[in-house]
Amino acid sequence: MNQRIDDKRILDFLGGRKNPAGIKEIMGSLKIPAEKRQALKKRLREMSEKGEIVRKKNKFGGSRERVSKTVTGRVQIKKNFGFILSDDGEDVFLGRGAVAGLLSGDIVEAYVKKSDGGGREGEIKAVLKRTKDPVVCRAGFEGDRCYAVPVLNGGPVIRLSEDTSAYKENDMLLVVVEEKEGKLWGKVISHIYDEENISLYKQFALARHSIKREFPENALKEAEGCALETDKNPAREDLRAETIITIDPADAKDFDDAVSLKYEGGRYVLGVHIADVSHYVREEGALDIEARSRGLSVYLPDEVIPMLPERLSNQTCSLRPGEDKAVFSVIMDIDPEGNITGYKFKEALIKTAKRLTYEEAQEIITGQGQAPEGVKQAILLMDRLREVLGKKLKNGGYIDFSVGEPVLEFDAQGEVCGISRKEALEAHRLIEFFMISANICAADFIEKNLGTGIFRVHEPPALKDILGFNMLMSAMNLPHKIKKGKSSEFQAILEAAKNSEKKFLIEKSLLRAMRLAKYSEKNTGHFGLGLERYSHFTSPIRRYADLVAHRLIKKIPGIAETDVSGAWLKESALIISEREAAAEKAESEVFRVYALHYLKKRRGERLKAVITRVSKNGLSAEPLDIPVEGFLNFEDMSGDYFVFDEERQSVTGRRTKKTYRTGSVVSVIIKSINMESQRMNLELC
């Protein structure tokens, strides 16, 4: 038998023994033929020199440092290296050799040893479970046989069992993998055969993150069965005579929230009226099950993939102007200092007086807009309350990031014609603060009456991220430091940086230092908002967490029955958090693909860019007038060798002595666009 010398077999054999073994015993146990003796001795010597095994005279044993500890976790592969996101919360590095047979998402058990740099490095002991996540591959051929090769690590090879006649060498394939008898077989679920066809990239991103457009037949049938007529049960409080307004983006179709406001008796009476989705979506029905699996609506640059069919999201439940609509409202009493002194939830019937866009509301606030007098006065009163609530929130630790998110601009033909940052308007803050107030009431009500629910939680930043931010500020000679890790410190830094030329970079660095918010059945507070309790209540058309909150709140006074256990809530919070993360990745990928496709037209253009990050491999930089990050690779900067200084966040050329650091502004040109890696390659000029 011609057995090859396999490191893993050697490690498993020696690691499972108490005493060292000699060459003869190793050969016999592993059935290594005599002609491989010298090769085995050489390999054992190399492994002992690396510290993978221990040599004692002419015998070899397992490395105690390595064998004494194993970790289990999920594999995340980068370009020819990776990490194990281990169960103990500490990542383990995987080198090129370790990732060669793995796929991103695999669950593995690995030995752990100290790397040359002093960190934790893993050596795979076993693949416990193959990933169910789709794998991005390139098509390869061996004669007429087509196979798929993972892009990130070049292996392992995945056999394709279906008809492969449509594929060409190097086509991008998205493959779902199954292991059978030690071999990997794949099914292609998306295929990019034309790199100029932007819609293929969008389909690819959606399939990669398991985002589906089509609804199952039973869910559509249930949606069609929902009466278009609004529920006018006499038990609903009739608020149709109130001045109730919606304020949304210009292209919105799913209006799930409306607002009203009065000032009486020395207090503000704020009404937040939410589409009563729970009245139409039956618990554990086909619509409910589908909505839970989706978690939320997905917002792409040129379309929305809704959580609920359009029959509900854009028609029956949408709070369209001039139509009678069923809502679930929270009416809040707010004192002149912004304290919520009381609130009441109620099922109601409304008819919105006016549908405003954010821009139209802003024009009214600045005295330039036209609207019926009642609507105009309501908006001006709302703006007064916006100031009150904003001050209250900021004093409590609310972190107010002001740099707008990037948006694509489309021409009449639906082609991208520009990229800019969304301007933050007072009208945006007005709705944001009103929705936060309603969500605070929902969380308070659920926690006091049930103890458990689905809360929106946000943990404080990790110490290593705080230290990283402080190091960057020192490197940029800026005085800003986080000392105690409180949200009020974050806001104080933003206030101090308001007029700084490095404001954008400071905000971006603070965002990087923060954890992501998620859903949980337990309330642990919301760091970014500076709140002790918080839930999502205001968007049940597009977020499943909000639909659950409505059901839980209605359960208390007995308006509707719901029977959900703590285990169901815990599982639901996990599902929704995972789907939210997937949606955000898909939204980001599709945005970047559209942006890069547009930027191909601007190759060779000279731009000013700010360096946003420095590494040993190159510089990340964002053009000042294009909110899309690019990369300057040192390998493309011939004639010099750059030395990376992590503490100073800078690199210096040995020959030219030129120094580039985070925050510096440089002149660049767009050298090339790589659609596969979604990278914009820049070049200094």
Residues 470 and 540 in one domain: no
Residue 89 or residue 11, greater confidence:
11
Residues 575 and 651 in one domain: no
520 in helix, strand or coil?
Answer: strand
pLDDT category, 228, cuts 50, 70, 90? low
User: Taking the CB of residue 265, how many other CB atoms lie within 10 A of it?
Assistant: 8
Residues 164 and 267 in one domain: no
> Residue 44 is part of a domain; what is its CATH number?
1.10.10.10
- What is the signed CA dihedral for 85, 87, 91, 96, rounded to 10 degrees? -50
The answer to whether residue 203 sits within a structural domain is no
Residue 8 or residue 148, greater confidence:
148
Please give the residue range of the domain that contains residue 646. Answer: 603-684
What DSSP element (H or E) covers 566? Answer: helix 566-599
The answer to whether residue 208 sits within a structural domain is no
Strand segments, DSSP code E, in 216-323 are 237-238, 245-248, 257-264, 267-275, 298-300, 303-305
pLDDT category, 682, cuts 50, 70, 90? very high
Q: What average pLDDT score do residues 521-532 get?
A: 97
Residues 406 and 334 in one domain: yes
pLDDT at 647: 87
How far apart are the C-alpha atoms of 345 and 36, rounded to whole Å?
79
The answer to whether residue 221 sits within a structural domain is yes
Residues 381 and 314 in one domain: yes
How far apart are the C-alpha atoms of 475 and 492, rounded to whole Å?
20
> Residue 84 is part of a domain; what is its CATH number?
2.40.50.140
Phi, psi of 248 (to 5 degrees): -145, 170
pLDDT at 635: 86
Whether the per-residue pLDDT at 398 is higher than 80: the answer is: yes
Q: What average pLDDT score do residues 51-80 get?
A: 76
Retrieve residue 408's tokens. Answer: 């694509």
Phi, psi of 404 (to 5 degrees): -70, 155
Domain boundary among 558, 590, 622: 590
Q: Give the Cα-Cα-Cα angle 435, 571, 110 (nearest 5 degrees).
A: 120
401: number of CA atoms within 13 Å, CB side? Answer: 17
pLDDT at 62: 74
**Does residue 628 contact residue 442 with C-beta atoms inside 8 Å?**
no
What DSSP element (H or E) covers 123? Answer: strand 120-129
The answer to whether residue 206 sits within a structural domain is no
Whether the per-residue pLDDT at 116 is higher than 70: the answer is: no
Residues 89 and 145 in one domain: no
Residues 38 and 93 in one domain: no
pLDDT at 2: 42
Of 159-168, 181-190, 282-291, 553-562, the poorest mean pLDDT is in: 553-562
Residues 358 and 280 in one domain: yes
pLDDT at 561: 63
pLDDT category, 1, cuts 50, 70, 90? very low
* CA-based nearest residue to 586, from 269, 22, 210, 246: 210
Of 44-48, 247-251, 472-476, 551-555, the poorest mean pLDDT is in: 44-48
pLDDT category, 63, cuts 50, 70, 90? low
Q: What average pLDDT score do residues 102-121 get?
A: 83
Q: How far apart, in Å, do the first and last CA atoms of the chain sit?
A: 61
Domain boundary among 563, 590, 617: 590
Residue 537 DSSP symbol: -
Retrieve residue 634's tokens. Answer: 């040192």
Q: What average pLDDT score do residues 302-306 get?
A: 94
> Residue 187 is part of a domain; what is its CATH number?
2.40.50
pLDDT category, 144, cuts 50, 70, 90? confident
pLDDT category, 80, cuts 50, 70, 90? confident
What's the number of domains the chain is made of?
6
The answer to whether residue 493 sits within a structural domain is yes
Averaging pLDDT over each range in 74-88, 133-147, 384-398, which range is the top one? 384-398
The answer to whether residue 2 sits within a structural domain is no
- The overall average pLDDT reported for the chain is 91
Bond preceding residue 249 cis, omega within 30 of 0: no
Bond preceding residue 479 cis, omega within 30 of 0: no
Residues 354 and 428 in one domain: yes
pLDDT at 337: 97
Residues 619 and 666 in one domain: yes
The answer to whether residue 202 sits within a structural domain is no
Q: CA-based Rg of the chain, rounded to a whole angstrom?
A: 29
pLDDT at 83: 94
**Does residue 246 contact residue 355 with C-beta atoms inside 8 Å?**
yes
Residue 356 or residue 32, greater confidence:
356
Averaging pLDDT over each range in 44-53, 495-504, 610-619, which range is the top one? 610-619
Residues 121 and 241 in one domain: no
Domain boundary among 105, 129, 153: 129
Residues 397 and 523 in one domain: yes
Phi, psi of 619 (to 5 degrees): -120, 130
The answer to whether residue 623 sits within a structural domain is yes
85 in helix, strand or coil?
Answer: strand
